[in-house]
Amino acid sequence: MHRFFIPSEWIRQSRVSLTDEPAHQIIHVLRLKPKDHIILLDNSGWEYEVEIDQMSPGLIQGRVIGQGLGATEPRVKVTLYQALLKAEKFEFILQKGVELGVSAFVPFVSERCVVRKPGENKLARWRKIIQEAAEQSGRALLPALHPVATFREASDSAHGASILLWEEERSLSLSRILKGPPFQASPTFNVFIGPEGGFPPAEVAYAESRGIVPVSLGHRILRAETAGLAVVVALLYERGEFG
Amino acid sequence: MHRFFIPSEWIRQSRVSLTDEPAHQIIHVLRLKPKDHIILLDNSGWEYEVEIDQMSPGLIQGRVIGQGLGATEPRVKVTLYQALLKAEKFEFILQKGVELGVSAFVPFVSERCVVRKPGENKLARWRKIIQEAAEQSGRALLPALHPVATFREASDSAHGASILLWEEERSLSLSRILKGPPFQASPTFNVFIGPEGGFPPAEVAYAESRGIVPVSLGHRILRAETAGLAVVVALLYERGEFG
């Protein structure tokens, strides 16, 4: 069944009114009809099954015929702190990260970043990518996109279990960190991934001063956009979130 | 240092002659000079450090100044049986799969595949993607690309520990399979990933008759190209291959 994140005020008691993009999708792209069912999500964690009963140009109405708590959210909340990357790579990270179970994204500018801070158009596009991926992959909560930060701001904002992937780290492996205290049972996790050129030692030192632990991902050299997803999968797998 | 897979006959004793694409890359793209060093790989598992000594149009000569066994190959050999996907998705799987540590790819045609069998041009492009990803990620062996098979041929050819990712599987999880006998210690692993529309039950039944185990990847719905990579990461992480 097709899923749509909507503003919570679109649902009043058991009546639903949809306009804007969801209405456009339902009428013109999916070509649904009265009596078809859809799932609405108001980002509360609840899922509402809705039967469409009236359709007019730009407005769809229906009624809630069932509701339940979504069961697809990982129990561990992963925030991916991702240095800005070239456009298609950053968008790839957002899309795949949402599918895999990332709860929030913090884009940041690192010393070796070669791309500029995104303008409002690009941020809107990123939010759309996140929303579509969340709808398609069955997420019950919409992952947050935080404002673009500097590396220091990002490091300062990371509380609790935090790791930074560093290709020059030789001794401390991801699995050792994930399997041992205190990270083993942490309900939240912050993962820092650098830009194409990696982190300079000064940034790693600053991160360490904030309690962020540099870890290695083994022998192969992963591209920036692959590394982040590999860490997210490993982390969620370690916590039993991949079945 | 830049890495190049080359035919083994280009290395004779300690002398090396490079032509074709590697020579072009070195001269025109990387603009290396005599006395620069490169790493050559002849797909034997050995890595040869070479100092360039002569350069002329289309021909580079050098001498081997050191050799060692590559340390980047995973100890577990993963063969990714991947149903044909739309072009950019299939290419994405090849590139990321090589980076992450896949040893061989078997493209196959499944009932719900919507793309045609690739022609020779596309196969050449796929081999190039694999080679470039192997060079960039520091692989010591070039992952194999097997001919496109039917689903039955692919299933018949999969010996040893074999799993098939099925979104309708509810009971058997990936981690249960990976952590238990007999798969726990298997030195090889075959992973079957379907096309965009998934596997039909008849194909799953056939795979099961060949000893291939359908497994679930949990609650979220992953795109075909994300699912394969998630399984590869989980499998290699479980085996200690991500540091």
Contact A230 B137 (CB under 8 A): no
pLDDT at A81: 98
Measured distance CA(B95)–CA(A223) in Å, rounded:
10
Question: Once rounded to an integer, what is the mean pLDDT over residues B212-233?
Answer: 91
Query: Rounded mean pLDDT of A6-11?
Result: 95
**Residue A168: what pLDDT?**
86
- Pick from A174-183, B35-44, B60-69: least confident: A174-183
Distance from the Cα of B135 to chain A's closest Cα (Å) equals 10
- Separation of alpha carbons A117 and A112, rounded Å: 13
The ipTM value here is 0.88
A243/B72 touch (CB, cutoff 8 Å), yes or no: no
Nearest to A234 among B217, B222, B237 (CB): B237
What's the length of chain A?
A: 243
- Look at B243 and A215 and tell me if their CB atoms are within 8 Å: yes
Q: Distance (Å) from the C-alpha of residue B16 to the closest C-alpha of chain A?
A: 26
Q: Who contacts A97 (Cβ-Cβ below 8 Å, separation ≥6)?
A: A80, A105, A143, A228, A229, A232
Give which of B115, B113, B77 is closest to B97, Cα–Cα.
B77
- Beta partners for residue A163, in sequence order: A191, A213
Cα end-to-end distance, chain A, whole Å: 22
Contact list, A99 vs chain B (CB under 8 Å): 220-223, 226
Q: Choose the mutation target among A129, A139, A237 for the interface with B, i.e. most B CBs under 10 Å.
A: A237
pLDDT for the residue A169: 83
Assess contact for B180 and B173: CB atoms under 8 A.
no
Q: Global pTM? A: 0.91
Which residues have a Cβ under 8 Å from the Cβ of B147 and sit 6 or more positions away?
Answer: none
Position B170 scores a pLDDT of: 79
Check B226 against A99: CB less than 8 A apart: yes
Residues of A in contact with B223 (CB under 8 A): 99, 136-137
Nearest alpha carbon to residue B96 among A91, A84, A221 = A221
Identify residues of A whose CB sits under 8 angstroms from chain B CBs. 71-72, 96, 99-101, 136-139, 173-176, 215-223, 226, 229-230, 233-234, 237-238, 240-243
